[in-house]
Amino acid sequence: MGCGRVGSSLARNLERRGHTVAIIDQNPEAFRRLGPTYAGTKVTGLGFDRDVLLKAGIENAEAFAAVSSGDNSNIISARLAREQFGIQSVVARIYDPGRAELYQRLGIPTVATVRWTTDQILRRLLPEGAEPDWRDASGTIRIAEVPTHADWVGKTVTQVEDASHARVAFLARLGDGVVPSRDTLVQEGDIVHMVMREAAADQVAAALAAPPQEEA
């Protein structure tokens, strides 16, 4: 919902990744921002109107982003998408920091600012690891969160690196960042961020999604 700078950028980014997109805006002129290559659905109306959401295909949606210019519209539509239509991947753009904190506690992820908003919403809507934390200018190296099998808990960073043929950049642990040594143990709840070659991302993900191989 919302075809401003963020909404139009988000729609184009999702389409380039092969996703089907529907975008809602109460001003039909806003759809010009999508450009001539946009092939998705355009729906004129209010994103918190149930009939408008149904016209946009909300019943078949896997994710919903509320990125209009109004905090109230965004949070109402986001809650409607989650609570009435059962959409699990929902995110709302909220300008008021106080409100953003409140809605985070209610379970509605919130973000702000244009470029950062587009990147963060893509990371929340797409599967884990689909969007890296960072990619170098040549497009050959990425740092990305890599989901790990539960059996990696208690293993060392060295073991993680040997199995994945990539480097552990840092661990997110209990809200803090940890720069590990090679002997650092992976703890329960750790989020592992790896630095790797872009071309090897799938292999790294597969290696850590599986349990560690026991040494003979």
Question: How does pLDDT run across 71-81, given as a tens digit for each residue?
Answer: 889 989 999 99
Return the CATH superfamily for domain 5-125: NAD(P)-binding Rossmann-like Domain (3.40.50.720)
Alpha carbon separation from 128 to 9, 19, 123, 133, 171 (Å, rounded): 21, 16, 7, 11, 16
Q: What would the mean pLDDT of 113-131 be, rounded to a whole number?
A: 62
Please report which confidence band the pLDDT of residue 103 belongs to, taking 50, 70 and 90 as the band edges.
confident
State residue 125's pLDDT score. 77
Q: pTM for this one?
A: 0.55
Beta carbons within 8 Å of 97's beta carbon, 6+ residues apart:
112
* Better pLDDT: 194 or 129: 194
| Coil, strand or helix at 156 | strand
For the chain, give every residue range classified as CATH 3.30.70.1450.
134-209
How would CATH label the architecture of 134-209? 2-Layer Sandwich (3.30)
State residue 155's pLDDT score. 96
State residue 159's pLDDT score. 96
Lowest mean pLDDT among 65-69, 86-90, 125-129: 125-129
The rounded distance, in Å, linking the Cα atoms of 181 and 26 is: 53
For the chain, give every residue range classified as CATH 3.40.50.720.
5-125
> Is-contact 7 121, C-beta < 8 A?
no
* Better pLDDT: 109 or 66: 66
